[in-house]
Structure 1
């Protein structure tokens, strides 16, 4: 409606003196993030929360004993001399490996939420997260393995690891990283839809996926791991001395027990660890949002 001089004036409800909004008016959001720009609110504290979440992840491991003996020895050392274990070099290396991997994933989530103007609790699932987490995990794992070889390996100079073994170990770690960081946020909503209501009140689909995905992928990554080890342990000089069939027999022989051992190692690191990391980060980010 226009007044006498042709200027639009708001529509008025005869029963109320409050002008009604025009139909062609653009409704502006009363709250939430802007559609453009960066979300830099509490960015320093959010990066601190990323580090705190990553630092809550630690796994205990041994490099030269059987699984049972390693667990028994580590348990008694932890009871009798906890400081000797918690401040030892192997634990520091494991802390560096898993803490660095989680810190990289957390920092990427924060960078993405900042640049794309998303909430501080935003979690990414795309290629960038897979590439960054895999690069951090593989790089730190190679360094850790080199130190462990010098600490726990046989006497004398260690034999260089052949390039095919490095490639297989890289594929092994990439499979674990994909199942630990990319799959759970994607599978979580699907599991929530299909879980019974009674079970849904007990555990979320994302939590279930965080435990199940890293464990399940070990069934596929374990033969890759064993083949890489076999190429290192039996280099085949000349190469024809070790046939592909011989290597497959060796892999199949150790597949089940090695998969079980790797599941026992991976579930605390990326199952329980991933759940703790996600919860700690989400709780801290909600307070900073």
Structure 2
């Protein structure tokens, strides 16, 4: 009996030893690597760099963008020459800088582009954190495209609706009232050229035009392809820039950052003009598509180059300032300076 118990005990010990040997051993180094995948060091400073870079890029580029955006609106809705509107607005900005920089149009533009830069920066920081990459790493994937597109479209569609109402076609009675006011008061023209929309006349006005849903859709499509060309394409095509145009990776990146958003305006300008025309001309019986196509043909060339003049500062100059400032500051934070 004693011998049987001793044999059972030996079998049990042998079985447990065998099971222990068969169990996989997880290396300690692997455990530490998994735990350290997320690099959250200096997260507060890194987010501060994202905000500072976006705010600086917006402050440098948004004054010109505001003026050009209004000029395009008034060209499409009222036929005003783009150059004349730009000169009037520049004069207003120089004469009354506080009125310009605290006006609704400038604040809308500044909010739009600063928020877009900041979203792109935040996605880059999130990606570098979750993938344990260098602080200044840049993401070119779909999450960045979708995030920047959603933020940009949401604010931009609201901005365009506000701009269309401030600088777009006026109801007939309002137009007559403004004409009468300018004829009796020469100073009214000077005031109307400021960035703020003129005060409503005291006489009754017609109901405000509503932004058609198709216009909203066209504005969203326009902004989607512009964002794609501004934040995703440049990093992908920069290595393909010929060496005779740019010899260093930095120069290749800068050329791509300028060229891609500007070239995309050839495709996005018709969407922009059609969306504005659907708002500005809303006859009771509708309008034939040939009439709208004729208006787009009339305004396409000046509006296309004016939009390039707006996009190049926004996503060319602004994009380069934002990316380079972020890159420089992130390297300093990573070095512990």
Scaled by the length of structure 2, the TM-score of the pair is: 0.69
- Shift in Å, 1:150: 4.7
Task: Report whether the alignment pairs 1:130 with 2:145.
Answer: yes
1:166 to 201, 213, 216: 216
Q: Which residue of 2 aligns with 1:269?
A: 314
In 1, the alpha carbon distance for the partners of 2:119 and 2:275 equals 26
- Shift in Å, 1:236: 5.2
Task: Report whether the alignment pairs 1:260 with 2:310.
Answer: no
Could you list the runs of 5+ residues in structure 1 that have no partner in the other structure? 1-25, 29-33
158-167 vs 85-94, which moves further:
85-94
Contact 1:149 1:158 (8 Å CA) reproduced: no
79-88 vs 171-180, which moves further:
79-88
Contact 2:261 2:311 (8 Å CA) reproduced: yes
Task: Report whether the alignment pairs 1:190 with 2:240.
Answer: yes
1:59 to 59, 62, 87: 62
- Shift in Å, 1:89: 2.7
Could you list the runs of 5+ residues in structure 2 that have no partner in the other structure? 1-26, 75-79, 175-204
- Shift in Å, 1:202: 10
In 1, the alpha carbon distance for the partners of 2:113 and 2:140 equals 19
Superposed CA deviations along residues 77-131 of structure 1, whole A, max 9, x for unmatched, are 3333333322333222111010011111111111111112221111111111111
Q: Please list, as runs of the form range in 1=range in 2, the aligned pairs for 1:36-55 lying within 5 A after superposition.
A: 36-55=36-55
Greater RCO structure (CA 8 Å; 6+ sep): 2
In 1, the alpha carbon distance for the partners of 2:148 and 2:101 equals 25
Are the structure 2 counterparts of residues 254 and 74 from structure 1 closer, same or farther at C-alpha, using a change threshold of 3 Å?
closer
Q: Please list, as runs of the form range in 1=range in 2, the aligned pairs for 1:1-289 lying within 5 A after superposition.
A: 36-56=36-56, 57=58, 58-60=61-63, 61-62=66-67, 63=70, 64=74, 66-153=81-168, 154=170, 155=174, 156=205, 157-191=207-241, 194-196=242-244, 199-200=246-247, 204-235=251-282, 237-239=284-286, 242-289=287-334
Contact 2:211 2:279 (8 Å CA) reproduced: yes
Instruction: Report the RMSD for the aligned CA atoms in angstroms.
Output: 2.4
In 1, the alpha carbon distance for the partners of 2:116 and 2:217 equals 19
Scaled by the length of structure 1, the TM-score of the pair is: 0.80
Q: Looking at CA atoms only, which structure, 1 or 2, has the larger radius of gyration?
A: 2
Flag the structure with higher helix content. 2
Contact 1:179 1:213 (8 Å CA) reproduced: yes
In 2, the alpha carbon distance for the partners of 1:232 and 1:129 equals 31
Are the structure 2 counterparts of residues 147 and 227 from structure 1 closer, same or farther at C-alpha, using a change threshold of 3 Å?
closer
